[in-house]
A and B are shown apart, each in its own frame.
Chain A
Amino acid sequence: MDNHDGGKGMNLTLKVWRQKDSRDRGGLVAYKVENISADISFLEMLDILNEQLVAKGEDAISFDHDCREGICGMCALMIDGQAHGKDKDATTCQLHMRRYKDGDVIVIEPFRAKAFPVVKDLVVDRSAFDRIQQAGGFVSVNTGNAGDANNILVPHDKAEKAMDAASCIGCGACVAACPNASAMLFVAAKVSQYALLPQGQPERERRVLAMRAAMDAEGFGHCTNEYECEAACPKGIKVSNIARLNREFVRAMVVSE
C-alpha cells in the first residue's frame, strides 16, 4: 500500500509513556503506526497516531510542541533514552522519520527530573527555569533608560560568543540528559551571555550568585562533569560555559566578601 505521501511507508511500534496527571503513576503503552513516510517529522508521525486515537474516541497522547522548527524550546521528548532523539544538534520537532526503518520499536518518554514534574503523558512542568531567570537572568534597565546603542561597543568576537550562549532555547534537554538532572548548562548559558557583554557587568556578581542559589533551591542536581548536557543540547551550547559559570561563581564569592 502506498502511504499518503507517495512512497511505501514504514510500520513501527511505539512504546509511549502515558500518565493521566501528576499524581498518576504512569507507564508505557504500545501502539502500532503503519505506512509512515520517511519524509515526515517525528511529531507529524505522533500527529497521525493521535488523529487515529481521537477518531476512535480515545484520549490523544499529550506532548508539548509549538514552532516545529527548533526555536521555541517547547518540544521535549526522550526518544529511546536520548533527549530529542538521535539527531545531533536538533530538537525533537526537527527529527525526521528518514532516520528510522521499517519494523523499528521506538520508546518515547518525557524529560525526567525531580525539578520537572510530569503534567500529563509526555508533558512536563519546566517553570523552574523561569524562576531561575527571575532570580537574576536580566540586566536591570527600565524602558527608556538606554543611551544610543553604539555607545556600548562590543567586540565582534565577544558578541559572537555571547550569541552562542544566548542561543539556548530553554528546552531542558541538558537536565534530562544529565545523570544528576543538573541545570548547570542552562544557567551557565545565561550567566555567560551577560558575563561576556559590557551590559552585564554592573550586576555580574549578584546575578551568578542569585541564579546559582535559585537553581539549587529548585532541586536540580550538581554537576559532576559528565558532559551529557553538551551532547544532548540541540543548540550546540558548549560545556566551556559551565567552566565560565564556575569561574564567575568563585570570582563573585571573592568579590562579594
Chain B
Amino acid sequence: MKLDPKVPTGPIEKSWDKARFELKLVNPANKRKFKVLVVGTGLAGSAAAASLAELGYEVEAFCVQDSARRAHSIAAQGGINAAKNYPNDGDSVWRLFYDTVKGGDFRAREANVYRLAQVSNSIIDQCAAQGVPFAREYGGTLSNRSFGGAQVSRTFYARGQTGQQLLLGAYSALMRQVGAGAVKLFPRREMLDLVVVDGAARGIVCRNLTTGATETYSGDAVLLCTGGYGNVFYLSTNANSCNVTATWRAHKRGAAFANPCFTQIHPTCIPVAGAHQSKLTLMSESLRNDGRIWVPKKKGDERGPADIPEEERDYYLERKYPAFGNLVPRDIASRAAKQVIDEGRGAKGALSVYLDFQAAIKRVGEDKVREKYGNLFDMYHHITDENPYKVPMRIYPAVHYTMGGLWVDYNLMTTIPGLFCLGEANFSDHGANRLGASALMQGLADGYFVLPYTIGGYFAGAKLAKVGTDHAAFKAVAAEVASNTAQLLAVRGKATPQELHRKLGRVMWDKVGMGRNARGLKEALAEIPALREEFWKTVAVSGSEESFNQTLERAGRVADFLEFGELLAKDALTREESCGGHFREEHQTEDGEAKRDDRNFSHVAAWEYAGEGKEPVRHAEPLTFDNVHIAQRNYA
C-alpha cells in the first residue's frame, strides 16, 4: 500500500487555489453521467449530497435513521468556528490554522488544516444565507462566543443547538434537491459492505432496515460520511446508532484506517448514574465561557457544594492554566479532572467535579444565562433532577469524538480509488485532539467546499467502465453480507448484544481510555479477541432476518466494534508517546502533561488490513511542519 497525501507544494496560503486550478474539471453536461453514492446525511453527507446535486451530478443518499435530518450532527450543541474576526479581537485565517494545529498537538497535516481555516468563513456565509438562525447582536450582526484552546471569540452559535440548526440548514438544501429529483433518498438503510470493481469503489450493499432485504446500489464514486466510532467504548456522548460498520468494512476492502487511537474524551459530561445507563450526555464546552470548574481542596470532603466556602475550593484549571483558565483544550481539562478525582478530591468525594454558574448568574442575571444555555440547563435538570441555576452541575469526562478515521489524501480520497471519506469518519484535520466547535466546521468544509471540487478531479482523470448491480462483484458481496447476517442469527445464545457491548466498553474504557499504559493495552489486546470469541458463541439475536430487527442491527455493529477495538488498542500500544487525547502514562512531563516524541512519531499511522487473523500492517505518513513552530503545548 502506498500513501500519497497529494499535498500541493509551494506556499501554504496558495495551496488550495493551486490544487483547485490543477484539478481537471468535468464539464456541466457530463456531470449528469456520474452517479455518486453518499452514505450518511449528517453535516458532511447532507452538505456534499446537496452541493453535488446542485452541480449536476446524479446523487443517491443513505442513512440509518428514518429521516436524513436525524443524523447525529443534530446533537451538536456549542457552536462552529470561523476566522471571520467579526469581534475585531485579532483573529485571522492564520490564527485559526495555528490554533488548530497546536490544539491537535502537531499531529495533523498543515495543508489540510490551512484549507479548513480558509473555507471556514464561506461556511458561515452559506449557512446564514440558508436561514440558519444564528445568535445575533442587537444591531443585527452575528454573535460570537469563546471555545477552548483559543484566545479569540470565533465561535458562531444558535443557542445550545448549533448542530441542529446547521444540520437542518444542510438538510433543507438536500430536501430541495430531493424535491427537484436530483437526489434520491434512502433512509433506514445500513451500509454493510463496499463493492470494489477493478480496484475502484463502485457500489455498496445495504440492509433495508424496514424490510430486512439485502439491497445493492452502484455508482461511480462512494462517499462515506458515516460519523465517528466513539461507541466502541459503549458509553459515550454519541447517539445510540453511531457505529464503525461502514468505515470498518471499507477498511477490510482495502481502505487504510488512520490513527484509530486518537479519541477524544470530553471534560464536561453528566456522570454515569447506574448500570443501566445507555448513553452519556454532554454539557457543551460553551458552558465554560461562564461556568467555573472546581473541586474541594480537601480530600474526601463530603460537604455539599454550598457548604464549602470560597477559600476551600480549588479552581484547578484557573490555578494551573491562568492564560486559558477554564477554556483549556479538552484533553487537558479531562486529564486535570481525572487527576483531582484520583487524588480523592471529587465532588462529595465521588466521580465528578463541579461546574458552577453562581458567579455568572450574579454578574449578568439568571435570564441572560438562560438565553445562552437554557436548553442545556433543562437537559441537565431532566436527567439529574437537580436545578443547575441553584446548585452547581456535577460533571465528569466521557468519550465524545474520534479524531482517527479512514486515511484520506488532500482530496479526501481513501486508499481505494473512488472511495472518499468526509466529516468525523475521516482522520484528517484535528490531529491528536480536536478543538471545540471545529467538527461542525470540518464536516461542512468537507461537504460544501472541498469534496465538490476534488471529486471532479477524480472523475475527469478516471476511466470508469459501466458497472451496474448485475455485475458479479455485487452478487458476491451481497452473498457475503447475507451469510454474515445468517451467522449472527444462527448463534442463538443467551447474551444480548448490549451485554457484550457493555463488556467491550469496560475493557476499552479501563485500559484504552483516558490513561493508557503498555501493560493495560496488552491486557486489552488479549481480552478483546477473547470477547469476540465469546460473542460468536453466545450472542442472542432474536427476531427474523426479513423484518425490522433492531437486535440484529445492534449485533452487527457490536461485532464490528469487537474487531475494530483491537486495532484501536494496537495503535495505542505502538504509538510510544503521549499526544493530545492519546495519553500514555509512560510518557508524561513532570507535571503530568502529554510528552510527545517528535523524532519517532511525527507521523500519521495508517493501518492496512491484511486478512482475517493476520497482523495488520502499519504504514506511516510523515508530517512536516513548515509553517507552525512545533513546540510543547503550553496553555499556562
Contact = CB atoms under 8 A, between A and B. Distances in A.
Which of A50, A66, A90, A170 counts the most chain B CB atoms within 10 A? A66
A240 interface: no
Interface in A136-174: 137-150, 152-156, 159-160, 162-163, 166-167, 169-170
A59 B278 CA distance: 20
Question: Which of the four size classes fits the interface of chain B?
Answer: 35 or more
Contacts of B142: 149-150
A214 B306 CA distance: 55
Interface string A5-47: 1100000000000001100000000000000010111011001
B279 A68 contact: yes
B289 interface: no
Interface stretch (A127-135, A219-227, A244-252): A127-135
A73 B129 contact: no
B494 A55 contact: yes
Contacts of A139: 129-131, 172
Interface string A202-216: 000000000000000
Given A72-B74, A163-B158, A166-B165, A64 B140 contact: no
A159 B175 contact: no
A37 B275 CA distance: 10
A110 interface: no
A134 B382 contact: no
B548 A129 contact: no
Given A66-B239, A154-B136, A167 B161 contact: yes
B138 A127 contact: no
B67 A137 contact: no
B86 A150 contact: yes
Interface in B17-67: 47, 50-51, 54, 65-67
Question: Which of the four size classes fits the interface of chain A?
Answer: 35 or more
Contacts, number: 243
B75 interface: yes
A39 B550 CA distance: 25
Interface string B156-193: 00110100110010011101101100000101000000
B136 A159 contact: yes
A251 B107 CA distance: 57
Nearest to A171: B70
Given A48-B276, A149-B124, A143 B449 contact: yes
B133 A129 contact: no
B274 interface: yes
B92 interface: no
B277 interface: yes
B172 A137 contact: yes
Nearest to A121: B548
Given A67-B75, A153-B140, A55 B239 contact: no
Interface stretch (A101-109, A177-185, A191-199): A191-199
B51 A53 contact: no
Interface string B201-241: 00000000010000000000000000000000000000111
Contacts of A145: 126, 129
A51 B498 contact: yes
Interface string A67-101: 11111111000000000000101100010101000
Nearest to A53: B542
Nearest to B77: A71
B485 interface: no
Contacts of A44: 276-278
Interface string B84-101: 101000000000000000
Nearest to A52: B496
A243 interface: no
A72 B175 CA distance: 17
Contacts of B240: 65-68
A155 B136 contact: yes
B176 to A, nearest CB: 4
B125 A146 contact: yes
B383 interface: yes
Given A67-B239, A127-B187, A134-B175, A141 B130 contact: yes
A138 B382 contact: no
A193 B133 CA distance: 8
Contact of A66 (B125, B165, B241, B549): B241
Contacts of A160: 371
B273 interface: yes
Given A123-B548, A159-B136, A60 B239 contact: no
B349 to A, nearest CB: 16
Nearest to A200: B131
B122 interface: yes
Nearest to A134: B179
A54 B542 contact: yes
Which of B68, B70, B210 counts the most chain A CB atoms within 10 A? B70
A239 B159 CA distance: 22
Contacts of A73: 67, 69-70, 74
B135 interface: yes
A64 B66 contact: yes
A5 B273 CA distance: 8
Nearest to A129: B67
B382 A59 contact: no
A55 B176 contact: no
A155 B140 contact: yes
A4 B140 contact: no
Contacts of A135: 179
A126 interface: yes
B582 to A, nearest CB: 27
A58 B142 CA distance: 54
A69 B127 CA distance: 25
A163 B499 contact: no
Contact of A166 (B141, B168, B382): B168
A126 B67 contact: yes
Given A48-B276, A51-B499, A54-B540, A74 B66 contact: yes
30 contacts: A40-B274, A44-B278, A54-B497, A54-B551, A65-B240, A67-B240, A72-B70, A90-B382, A123-B548, A125-B66, A126-B66, A130-B185, A130-B187, A138-B130, A138-B175, A140-B176, A142-B54, A144-B122, A144-B448, A144-B449, A145-B126, A153-B140, A154-B136, A155-B136, A155-B138, A159-B135, A160-B371, A163-B165, A197-B131, A200-B131
Given A39-B273, A67-B240, A127-B187, 17 more contacts: A44-B278, A62-B549, A133-B171, A133-B175, A143-B126, A149-B142, A152-B128, A154-B140, A155-B136, A155-B140, A156-B138, A156-B140, A159-B140, A160-B371, A162-B133, A163-B133, A199-B131
A-B pairs with lowest CB-CB distance, top 7? A153-B140, A5-B274, A134-B179, A146-B129, A149-B128, A138-B172, A146-B125
Interface of A: 4-6, 20-21, 37, 39-41, 43-44, 47-48, 50-51, 53-60, 62, 64-74, 87, 89-90, 94, 96, 98, 119-120, 123, 125-127, 129-130, 133-135, 137-150, 152-156, 159-160, 162-163, 166-167, 169-170, 193-194, 197, 199-200
